[in-house]
Amino acid sequence: MPIALSTIHYNAYSPPDHQRRAVSLLPIVPVETLAIPVTDVIQGTGSSKPETGGISTKHKPSYPEPPMHCRLRLAKPTDHHAACRLYAEADALHARERPDRFRPTDKPARSQRLFDAHLADPDQALFVAEVDGAVVGLVRVQALERLEVPDVPALTPRRYAMVQELVVAQNHQRRGIATRLMAEAHRWARDRGLTQIGLSVYDFNQPALRLYQKLGYAPDSHRFSRNLD
């Protein structure tokens, strides 16, 4: 099965009023949510005490170093076409593995409007990886905040980061590019004073799960479903 290191999510509901910037134009439904304290992955020391659902990691990722000519930078509006090629790879994998939720399409994988909205949002960042001038990977990370919920006082207000998308072109995988993109997402979150980062991924995506586990992520919650006869 082709590997698509991807945490692309889709949903049909609107965000609750108490959650700010928790849902972009393509919101999230976590199938399995993973979380880790940001400082552990960035520093590789495992010295921080994790919040609920995170784990400490005492080992740095063992993935190979990316090629010397791999460069990370913030995405630009003109990267839309290249990003769509990456999204299309991940979308095709999801359509094959979960045809109940995804379908093949010959349309652009993401609209320019959506892509530009992500770039303009000050609470998120989209980084791309370039090899020999070609965009071969991307990661989108978002800062979220759960506000006070007077109707549910047990919920704790919190600020955290979510990796919304991670995609690396199939012919550039297993070269450390995804690890480097994730490190950039962690750095961005840490620079904003956030202490925990999470993501969600479909269970079928075992290569992505193995990567995230190597980076110190651990299950935070599970979402179950079944077909009704």
CATH code for the domain of 208? 3.40.630.30
Report if residue 70 sits inside a domain.
yes
Going by pLDDT thresholds of 50, 70 and 90, the confidence category of residue 110 is very high
Radius of gyration of the chain (CA): 17
Q: What is the mean pLDDT of residues 64-93?
A: 90
Report yes or no: 7 and 20 within 8 Å, Cβ to Cβ. no
Number of domains in the chain: 1
The answer as to whether 104 is a domain residue is yes
The secondary structure of 41-53, three-state, reads HHHCCCCCCCCCC
- Domain-embedded: residue 210: yes
Domain that holds residue 118: 19-222
Of 20-29, 85-94, 185-194, the one with minimum mean pLDDT is 20-29
Give the pLDDT band of residue 69 (cuts 50, 70, 90): confident
d(CA 4, CA 96): 12
Tokens of residue 223, six digits: 């979402």
Residue 1 lies in a domain: no
Q: What is the mean pLDDT of residues 157-167?
A: 96
Q: Which two tokens stand for residue 13?
A: 């509901």
pLDDT > 50? residue 28: no
Residue-wise pLDDT for 163-212, tens only, equals 999 999 999 999 999 999 999 999 999 999 999 999 999 999 999 999 99
Task: Report yes or no on 151 lying in a domain.
Answer: yes
Between 209 and 60, whose confidence is greater?
209
Structure token pair of residue 192: 């904003």
What is residue 38's predicted lDDT score, i.e. its pLDDT?
A: 59
pTM of the model: 0.76
d(CA 117, CA 141): 14
The answer to whether position 2 is within a domain reads no
